[in-house]
Amino acid sequence: MNISQRTFWTDSSIVLAWISSPSAQWKTFIAHRVGEIQEITSISEWAHVDTKDNPANIISRGREPQIMLNDSFWWESPNWLQCDSSKWPHINKNQTNFNTDEERRTISLITSEQPKLPFLSRYSTWSRLLRVIALCLRFIYNIAHPNDKKTGPLLPYDLNNAINRVIRFVQSENWSCEISDLRKNGQCSPKSNIFRLRPYLDENNIIRVGGRLKNASQLDQFQKNPMLVPPNSPIVYLIFQDAHDVLLHGGPQIMLAHVRQRFWPINGRNISRKVSSKCVRCFRL
Ligand SMILES: [Zn+2]
């Protein structure tokens, strides 16, 4: 027999949708079977038949063999199938919008956010980092104020400005929810790991430790209310290394006390010990 045309019927519109799409987008079980069907047939050969016109449904529902013997529908299929193909029911496979989401392959992407200012970790010393940022800030200022350009050596004001920028940046990377709560409610959630420090936002939007050494009148604001520094930031190590150098290789306790005059690093005691233990000169001595 010479077969000039083949037509495959299914009463499942979802199956038609599967066959119409690249097999790779379905889950493994479906993708393998759809791939096999796509290899040996063409989607143009597939057509939809209404469930009531599908004789295969007769046996799936169960029927006595005696009744099957005389069932013309079973033996001859629906009447229209014996007519010219132009009379066959037709649905446009491209316009059907079947719900196939459940069988779609789920692809998970893991993204890791790069620090927005990656150069923070490029500098080997705290003072060099501050100088670079201070010069950048001065450059930006001079562009915006061509008639009031700042020149000459960097002043304490410039370096303080740079410190504020860096601390504000690392705080916003680590405590964005806390900053938002402090702005809205004046306090952060009790679930936050900095709640017990009674943090507050100062006039430069920097989180400072609150309620500590309130009555120590001989201390200035920096010492009473140091800026919070997150433990996982590269700058915290630069700050401790700077203290270690300024104190001529001072030990962990004196380093921590020195750093706390201005900053309050979370987990500071451990970081101080770590920085001290990594110093080659201290190790040799
Ligand atoms: Zn040392």
pLDDT tens-digit map of 264-273:
999 999 999 9
Q: Hey, what are 150's tokens?
A: 């700042």
> Does pLDDT of 215 surpass 60?
no
Ligand 1 centroid vs 262 CA: distance in angstroms?
Answer: 21
Ligand 1 centroid vs 280 CA: distance in angstroms?
Answer: 7
**Looking at residue 158, what is its pLDDT?**
93
Ligand 1 centroid vs 209 CA: distance in angstroms?
Answer: 29
User: Per mean pLDDT, which range of 19-33, 81-95, 145-159, 198-212 is the poorest?
Assistant: 81-95
Query: Is there a contact between 14 and 102 (Cβ–Cβ < 8 Å)?
Result: no
> Does pLDDT of 259 surpass 90?
yes
Q: Could you give phi then psi for residue 86, rounded to 5 degrees?
A: -65, -20
**What's the chain's average pLDDT?**
83
pLDDT tens-digit map of 141-150:
999 998 989 8
Ligand 1 centroid vs 125 CA: distance in angstroms?
Answer: 14
Ligand 1 centroid vs 235 CA: distance in angstroms?
Answer: 18
Ligand 1 centroid vs 225 CA: distance in angstroms?
Answer: 28
Ligand 1 centroid vs 269 CA: distance in angstroms?
Answer: 16
Q: How many CB atoms are located within 10 Å of the residue 283 CB?
A: 9
Ligand 1 centroid vs 234 CA: distance in angstroms?
Answer: 19
Q: Give the DSSP H or E segment for 265.
A: strand 263-265
Query: Is there a contact between 241 and 232 (Cβ–Cβ < 8 Å)?
Result: no
Cα distances from 285 to residues 5, 127, 275, 277, in angstroms, run: 91, 26, 15, 12
> Does pLDDT of 116 surpass 80?
no
Cα distances from 48 to residues 61, 82, 174, in angstroms, run: 20, 16, 57
Ligand 1 centroid vs 284 CA: distance in angstroms?
Answer: 9
Q: Hey, what are 170's tokens?
A: 């690392």
pTM of the model: 0.56
Pairing, β 200-201 against β 207-208: antiparallel
Ligand 1 centroid vs 285 CA: distance in angstroms?
Answer: 9
| Mean pLDDT across 5-28 | 81
> Does pLDDT of 28 surpass 60?
yes
Q: How many CB atoms are located within 10 Å of the residue 22 CB?
A: 10
Ligand 1 centroid vs 268 CA: distance in angstroms?
Answer: 17
Helix (H, G, I), strand (E, B) or coil at 147: coil
Ligand 1 centroid vs 174 CA: distance in angstroms?
Answer: 29
Ligand 1 centroid vs 276 CA: distance in angstroms?
Answer: 6
> Does pLDDT of 109 surpass 70?
no
**Looking at residue 240, what is its pLDDT?**
95
Edge-to-edge order in the sheet of strand 263-265:
200-201, 207-208, 227-229, 263-265
pLDDT tens-digit map of 175-210:
989 999 998 888 888 999 899 999 999 999 999 998
> Does pLDDT of 114 surpass 80?
no
In whole angstroms, give the CA distance from residue 109 to residue 93.
Answer: 31
In whole angstroms, give the CA distance from residue 182 to residue 180.
Answer: 6
Ligand 1 centroid vs 127 CA: distance in angstroms?
Answer: 17
| Mean pLDDT across 59-82 | 78
Ligand 1 centroid vs 128 CA: distance in angstroms?
Answer: 19
